[in-house]
Amino acid sequence: MAFGFIFSGQGAQQVGMGSSLYENSAAARACFDQAKEILPFDLKQICFEGPEEELTQTKVCQPALYVHGYSIVAALREAGKLPEIAGAAGLSLGELTAYAVAGVYDFETGLRIVAERGRLMQECCEATVGTMASLIGGDVEKAEALAAEFDVDLGNLNCPGQSVLSGEVDKVKAAVAKAKEAGFKMAVPLKVAGAYHSRLMKPAAEKFHAFLKSLPPFSTPAVPVFSNALGARIEDPEQIKQALVDQVTSTVRWTECVQAMMALGIKDYYECGPGGTLAGLAKRIDRELNVTSLSTYDELPLG
């Protein structure tokens, strides 16, 4: 039986993530141990023990979620229980994990890419005064109109009836105050360090582009992978590099990614990451989708 694999994005991180995988799987242990050698901080200690404030930092949580998501697949492969992967996608940061699992680059290269992405995005967060807010209810057209009216960007299209504004704090606050009048049930300010997937991340995108250009060529994905920036399948290695740059500032078209996977006939999914957020979004996109969330070793389908 073939499964779609979907990978968590920033915000899903939890203290303790990966500890049971590390204890029970040599393949997962190797991922965390390699991260300790590559990164300028002890990822394993922060993931397993916290503190939460440190794990939440953009430069830390992005590599943390990458290593955690990849190690789930590594543990399944090691146990001989990795099913056929019919397609792969990830929410924001999770897209980079999907490319690693699809063989676009190896684990170590992916970790270096994610670490640089997180570092550059944190720099942008510290240099700007940005935030995000979730819009509940309303459609895409209403969300686009509200973003345009207050000169902010549409950061995410997560599922029908849930979109995210991203931009300067004062402008996002003004949009939130107008949201009900604009046709939304509610608007919820998000606890984030900055305005991800907005024009405020442009300096990070430009530096990230230069970094990716310095790397060896990517490989063609071994399985279908779906781009957040395009909301569609993407195969050309150079186009993948450009899409990763674009993704830093562009709208995360998650609904379209899931719909594109569904168009391939994929109805069964494994969510690799903590929290079950993607499972919840999938049910709002299509109730017929079956998503099993995997985070701890005990949750892996090893029977």
Report, as residue numbers or ranges, the catalytic residues: 92, 197
Contact 269, 291 (CB under 8 A): yes
Residues 6+ apart with CB under 8 A from 46: 54, 55, 60, 64
Residues 6+ apart with CB under 8 A from 220: 104, 235, 236, 237
DSSP for 247-260, please give it.
HHHS-B-HHHHHHH
Contact 299, 68 (CB under 8 A): no
Is the previous residue joined to 203 through a cis bond, with omega within 30 degrees of 0?
Answer: no
| SS3 label, residue 186 | strand
Residue owning tokens 């056929």: 84
| SS3 label, residue 3 | strand
SS3 of 118-132: the string is HHHHHHHHHHCCEEE
Count CA atoms closer than 13 A to 27's CA, side-chain side: 15
Question: Alpha carbon of 219 to those of 99, 147, 188: distances in Å?
Answer: 10, 37, 40
